[in-house]
Structure 1
Amino acid sequence: MKKIIYVFLVVILLPLLLFLIYLKVDVNAKIKKNNLINETYKYLEKYYYKNLDTNSLLTNLLSGLNNKYVGYLESGNKKYNHEYRLGFYFHYDYERFVFTVDFVIKNSEAYKKGIKPNDMIIEIDNNKIIDIGPYKAVKLLDSKEIVELTIIRKELDTPRKIILNKKYNTIPTAVFTKFNFNEENIGYIKINYFEQGNTVKEVSNILQEITLKKVKYLIIDLRYNLGGDFDEGLKVLSYFTDKKILGKIIYKNQSKIIYRESIPFFNNLNNIKKIILVNKFTVSTAEFFTQFFKENKLATVVGEKTYGKSELIGYFNLENGGTVFFPIGYFVSEKGKNISKTGIYPDIYVDDPNFGIFLDSKNLENDTVIKKALDFIFEYEKNKQYF
């Protein structure tokens, strides 16, 4: 009997006791980590000589993760496609405390008013960005239909004020035109971004039009496409393929297969030679789209190396109305390739010197990257037996 009790204590109770001790240590360690943050906050709140700005504290706390896809949005400051409303893309320069223009959308209101890449925005409606900070500055840009910007430029002697009216910058998510090259019908689709509920409808109408116009070659332009809604991108991609599995999403503790959306497949597109145009501003959903075409040899990719972002962003709403955003996972291609930080290398490399998005069909042949695509088509027609 004593032997049985001894075995019971050694075999069952001892491991259980050790596990409980480990569990307690692990829980205490987590509590200690949380207490460090709580303790710091309480001391700051009690002794800091200024009024404690919780929004700034949270912003800087998250910046400590050193991940550009982690951040905090104050109450009422949600993420919009404000670049398309304004007519240009920009980033915050932490050294100069200004918004620096990355590129300007061609034929937009900003383009017509003379805003150029590398312009530095120092004020919004006479509010200095250095005083109000980047988050409040973006909120100010989003909240008004008409905004006054003060910009500086190297060749300008004095700051220049520009008034922008956002209503003139309503940009479709996708546009289409057809032109003739060497007696061949060339279709051109520009997908500006993937917007939930809109892009799939616009692309569907375009693909039906392509069927009627007997297009032989199709150029899909994804330059300056910063992504947008991932599910919308999957729906658009499903128009071009009948494959059931498109890729996979990797989460922290699990993975999920990305299946083709249950929408019509335009099988007539199989007979059309496709070319995808990309550059360093082709990002996220647009990259998943491109990688699928490249891996499955559905298109020839022409342009620059893409940005390299596979992270999918999640949101957490706080009691104060603010939102914390952070990566919840990342996508990989059907063959398991993760393009994060590496991007996608095109089949045919060509520098893209043009800043802007082509919103009309004029002079497409003068675009450097499109000219390269047309040269490829010409060579293909001349030597198609070798392709």
Structure 2
Amino acid sequence: MNTPPSRESGLTGKAKHEVLERVLKALESKFYKPELLGHDWKTAVASHRAAIESAATPDAFEQAMTELLQVLKTSHLGFFHGTARRASSRAALSATYLSDETPYGSRWIFQDVHDGGAAALAGIEPGNILLRVDGKEIVPHEHPVFPMGLTSTLDIVANDGNERTVSVNVSRPKGKKLQFVEPTLVQSKNLGERLGYLKVAMFPGMIGVEVSNAMSDAVAELGNIGGLIVDLRGNTGGGAGALRLMSLMTPDRVPVGYAPNKRWAKRDLATVKARFPRLGKIPSSKGALWLLGLRFLPSLITKSPIVLESEGLGPKPYDGRIVLLVDRHTASAAEMVTIFAKENKLATIVGEKTAGRLLSATSMKVGHGFRLAFPTGAYYTWNGTALEGSPIEPDVATDFSWQERRNGVDGQLQKALELIAG
């Protein structure tokens, strides 16, 4: 039985050629925006081919492939080896950062740090300044990466001004595999004066039964509140569990949006969208997912878009008094929530412009242990708004001030409190 060359032993020229051709074939057949694969793309493939097929090492091959894919300038697009045991800080640390000039030069500064994630467990806080990872100076625009299964050391400048070294392990065993340390997905608390606070770190899972139940439980525990602050800062998205949050923001059944694939790219969607099937209920248990799959099997076979529709959960005491906190790292499914609230006038949006990264995507094997992640559909709101590359503007712009956060002040949350109290 033949086995593909290991990552350590390198790749033959034939293997690199095969992988490249499979990537090109996958994009040609399923990439969400066919017009991007026109003359400019073919020219780019021709100019990058030699570097890709002559790459000396698997890492160099991966980098060369990545540089080609960057020509398409779209989110949710990546090329990596299936055995890769490293990740960016967003996924690995459950944290985000921004770059700015500091007393230590141009540096990354932590912005969102989700409770329960690897960064928070290591004692990292918003406003901390990153200096080094495993002894290596990290200066923008180089992003830090973290190996799974190993402990990394981070040198930071803490908010008290002292330099510290913290140890971070970004993964933990799950059976025979490793998984990222998952942050606390949902948190809620009463802020007094019948005001509630709900923070959602991300929406894991394709359907998101667990996070949906957690959000419903959290809101129920807040009791008879007359106002609600929903915090989606640093929420980089996920799956359909975001529908539950939208449903908690409106009592009615309201069409949300859909993600047409390549097959529908040139259709007049406004004239056919009313015929698309609708997903308007998140099951209460994973055991009911098979019924959902059975219901939508014809749509999966025909590749028809599925419209998300809020669940019609009925009135809530805080209806009409919702503030939604977002920032530059609010992305994907969290942006679906944001634009739904904005277009339907369900909440006042406070914070920074969102990321503008919202596509449906998949990943597939392309041979010799490599995988290609790529977008298969553009997301459209029911009103026809496409968000990819178009950040959502907040109603009340409030920038993140890392200097204030180092002094314990969350200016964005303070603005939300002012608005909802008024």
2:368 maps to which of 320, 325, 329? 320
Q: 1:26 — aligned with what? A: none
2:236 maps to which of 223, 226, 234? 226
CA contact (8 A) 1:224 1:281 kept: yes
Distance (Å, rounded) in 2 between the aligned partners of 1:342 and 1:34: 25
Structure 2 CA distance for partners of 1:79 and 1:292, relative to 1, 3 Å: farther
Q: 2:416 — aligned with what? A: 373
CA contact (8 A) 2:129 2:157 kept: no
Distance (Å, rounded) in 2 between the aligned partners of 1:166 and 1:306: 26
**Unaligned segments of structure 1, at least 5 residues:** 1-28, 93-97, 358-362, 380-387
Distance (Å, rounded) in 2 between the aligned partners of 1:115 and 1:278: 15
Q: How does 1:67-216 map to 2 (within 5 A)?
A: 67=74, 69-77=76-84, 83=90, 85-89=92-96, 100-103=108-111, 105=113, 108-109=119-120, 112=123, 119-121=130-132, 123-124=133-134, 138=145, 140-144=146-150, 146-149=151-154, 161-166=165-170, 171-181=183-193, 185-196=194-205, 197=208, 198-210=210-222, 213-216=223-226
Count residues with an aligned counterpart: 317
2:227 maps to which of 194, 217, 237? 217
Q: 2:290 — aligned with what? A: none
Distance (Å, rounded) in 1 between the aligned partners of 2:47 and 2:76: 21
The amino acid of 2:401's aligned partner reads: P
CA contact (8 A) 2:322 2:347 kept: yes
| 2:281 equivalent to 1:238 | no
Distance (Å, rounded) in 2 between the aligned partners of 1:35 and 1:292: 38
Structure 2 CA distance for partners of 1:275 and 1:76, relative to 1, 3 Å: same
SS of aligned partner of 1:143:
coil
Which structure would you say has the larger RCO, counting Cα contacts within 8 Å and 6 or more residues apart? 2
**Unaligned segments of structure 2, at least 5 residues:** 1-38, 100-105, 173-180, 283-310
CA contact (8 A) 1:223 1:281 kept: yes
Distance (Å, rounded) in 2 between the aligned partners of 1:35 and 1:373: 48
Distance (Å, rounded) in 2 between the aligned partners of 1:104 and 1:271: 26
The amino acid of 1:142's aligned partner reads: M
Structure 2 CA distance for partners of 1:113 and 1:206, relative to 1, 3 Å: closer
CA contact (8 A) 2:48 2:68 kept: no
SS of aligned partner of 2:315:
helix
Distance (Å, rounded) in 1 between the aligned partners of 2:62 and 2:228: 48
User: Over the residues paired in the alignment, what is the CA RMSD in angstroms?
Assistant: 4.3
After superposing on structure 2, the runs of 4+ consecutive aligned residues of structure 1 that deviate more than 6 Å are 32-35, 78-81, 126-130
Structure 2 CA distance for partners of 1:248 and 1:189, relative to 1, 3 Å: same
CA contact (8 A) 1:186 1:217 kept: yes
Shift of 1:221: 1.0
Structure 2 CA distance for partners of 1:258 and 1:86, relative to 1, 3 Å: farther
Structure 2 CA distance for partners of 1:321 and 1:312, relative to 1, 3 Å: same
CA contact (8 A) 2:131 2:138 kept: no
Shift of 1:113: 5.3
SS of aligned partner of 2:337:
helix
Shift of 1:218: 0.9
Normalising by the residue count of structure 2, what TM-score does the alignment of the two structures yield? 0.61
What CA deviation, in whole Å up to 9, does each residue of 1:9-47 have, x standing for no partner? xxxxxxxxxxxxxxxxxxxx9xx98995998489x55xx
Q: Which has the larger radius of gyration?
A: 1
Shift of 1:367: 3.0
CA contact (8 A) 1:106 1:356 kept: no
Structure 2 CA distance for partners of 1:283 and 1:166, relative to 1, 3 Å: same
Q: 1:21 — aligned with what? A: none
Q: 2:3 — aligned with what? A: none
| 2:243 equivalent to 1:259 | no
Shift of 1:203: 0.3
Larger % of helix: which?
Answer: 1
Shift of 1:316: 2.1
Distance (Å, rounded) in 2 between the aligned partners of 1:177 and 1:151: 30
